Amino acid sequence: MATRTQIYKEILREYDALRTEQAAKLRQRKEEIYRRLPRVREIDETLSMLGVQTAKLVLLKPGDMQDALVEMRAKQKELQTERRMLLESIGLTPADMELKYVCETCKDTGYVDNVPCTCLKQKVMDKLYDQSNVRDIVKVENFDHFDVRLYSEQVSKKEGISPRENAMQILRQALAFVENFADGGQNLLLYGATGLGKTFLCSCIAKELLDQGYVVLYLTAGQLFRKLEEIRFSKDEDGEKEEWDKELLEADLLIID
């Protein structure tokens, strides 16, 4: 199994590739826009020159510094307004001329003030557990798709309530679990025969919490135990095992299906 260092290296390479790709896309986008609106290129060139020109002016005539700055800011504002209006004329905004990030929080670097971003933690989890992408697992399911009408209204003699009423109670509890998640400490155990919707509910919960920025680990019991065994009984290269033990528990939510 890959060591911790290997996994981090691989992920940081992915971030790198992602930033390179986004930068290339931006260059392409800009060229296309400049082709359609040559005036925008002129404006951009002028804007980047403006600072230099002002600096020169200040050096040559230090006494006029205040006036020069005021004039520069006015010119800047005027050009930016013109630029925005030009872009809007073809259905774009100034944001289309800037880098786009998959994760706005860390700007696709994996870190915010040297602290790992949630997206980095999630990637580590995904790699550690060969979890292809938790978002793919939960893509389709969300609470909006939970249809209680699929359950019978017929009251069961054994349970004293109908399967539909039972499903609604479970749904309420699942929603409460998500709502109170930030307060922590609660576990949720769903049990019953196959095909009743446990996996579906798990996915709904995972999706909701992923959207709220939590790190989610979604595994079958088999996957989890295989991974624990692998860590427990594999050779301890560079004493990394202990670190992994810690990371295993780093997920905010662990779903064992």
C-beta closer to Zn ion: residue 106 or 217:
106
Q: Is the Cβ–Cβ distance between 50 and 75 less than 8 Å?
A: yes
- Report, in Å, the least distance between residue 118 CB and Zn ion: 6
> Which is it for strands 115-116 and 111-112: parallel, antiparallel or unpaired?
antiparallel
For Zn ion, which is the closer residue by CB, 118 or 223?
Answer: 118
**Near Zn ion by CB under 5 A: residue from 68, 119, 170, 210:** 119
What is the number of other CB atoms lying within 10 angstroms of the CB of residue 232?
A: 10
Cβ nearer to Zn ion, comparing 106 with 128: 106
CB of 98 to Zn ion, least distance (A): 17
Residue closer to Zn ion by CB (options 75, 121) is: 121
Q: Is 117 in the site for Zn ion (CB under 5 A)?
A: yes
Shortest distance in whole angstroms from residue 110 CB to Zn ion: 6
- State which of positions 94-113 bind Zn ion (CB under 5 A): 103, 105-106
> What is the enclosing helix (H) or strand (E) of 81?
helix 65-89
Minimal distance, residue 103 CB to Zn ion, in Å: 3
Residue pair 5/240 in contact by the 8 Å Cβ criterion: yes
The total number of residues shown for the chain amounts to: 257
Q: Please, how many CA atoms are within 13 Å of residue 192, restricted to the half-sphere of its CB?
A: 12
Beta-carbon contacts of 198 under 8 Å, excluding residues fewer than 6 positions away, are: 190, 191, 192, 257
Q: Does 133 bind Zn ion (CB under 5 A)?
A: no
Closest to Zn ion by CB, 103 or 174: 103
For residue 40, count other CB atoms closer than 10 A to its CB.
21
The verdict on 210 binding Zn ion (CB under 5 A) reads no
The residues binding Zn ion (CB under 5 A) are 103, 105-106, 117, 119
